[in-house]
Amino acid sequence: MNRPTLLHRLLAPLGLVAALSTLPVLAQTAPPPPDYSAAERLLLMGNQLQQVRPPTTLTYRFQRSGTLEPPFEDQVGIQLTRQADGQCCAATGAFLTGERRVTLPDLEQAQGNPVTLYFLEHDIREMQRLTMGQAHYFRKRIRMALYQGAQVRDVRFSYRGQTLAGQEIVIQPYLDDPNRARFEQLARKQYVFLLSTAVPGTVVSIRTTAGPEGGSSPLIEEALWIDGATRPAYTPAASAALTRTPPVRP
C-alpha cells in the first residue's frame, strides 16, 4: 500500500473538512489495512459512535488561553441523527460560534467522531494565520507525527463524578521539523488526545499547548472537552519523554 496516498486521503491538502464525507475513517465497512500506527487506529479508525443512540448532540466546551493573544471561551456541538437507512449516524457540526465559527459540511455517514478532524482543521487554520505558513505543510507534519512519532499511554480521568480508564495520544509534530526556525515560538507545540469508550463519542478531550521549554505558562493553549469531563490541565511539553510508536505491520 502507498502510505502517502492513504494519508493524503485522511488529511487531504484540499482541506480536512472538504474530504470528510469520503474518508474511510468515517465510513469504513472493510477491515483496515495493516500499515497503521497504534495512534492512527485509536484516533482515526475506530467506530467511536457505536454506543451513541441518536438523535443526540455531543456537546463540548472550548477554551483558548495563553500569553500571546486574548483568551476566550466558546462551545462545540456535534448533532447526531439516524441515517436514511436507520443506522447511526449522520452528523452536523457547529465548531465555535459567531465570527470564530468554522464552517463545516454535514456528514451523511460517520463512524469516527468528527470533532477530532474539526478541531484539527481549526488548528491548522490557526497555524497558518499565526505563521503565514502553508496549510498542507502543517497537515503533513501532523499526519506523520501520528504515524511514527506518537506516544500512547493508559490514563485515568474524571467524568460525571466517576474515575474512568482511557488512552492518551501525545504528539509534537514540529519538534524535529527541519523548518522549525520559521516558526520557532510554536515549534514545541504539543497535541494531547484523550479517548475512552466509556464516554459518548469516545473523544473525551483534545488539548494543544505551545510555549518555551520548561515554561510555567504557554504562549497558546487550546482545550476542548466533553460536557461532564474535567478540563485537561496544562503541563509543559516534555519532549524527552516521547517515544516512537511504530506502525502495525503484518
- Closest by CA position to 245, among listed 44, 7, 40: 40
Q: In 3-state terms, what secondary structure has residue 33?
A: coil
pLDDT digits (tens, 9 = 90+) for 61-110: 999 999 999 999 999 999 999 988 878 888 999 999 999 998 878 888 88
Q: What is the pLDDT of residues 111-155, one digit of tens each?
A: 899 999 899 999 999 999 999 999 999 999 999 999 998 999 999
For the entire predicted model, the pTM comes to 0.82
**What average pLDDT does this structure show over 205-227?**
88
* pLDDT score, position 235: 58
Helix (H, G, I), strand (E, B) or coil at 19: helix
Q: Which residues contact 88 (CB under 8 A, 6 or more apart)?
A: 49, 50, 52, 53, 54, 80, 82
Instruction: Choose the weakest-confidence range: 38-52, 124-138, 175-189, 225-239.
Output: 225-239
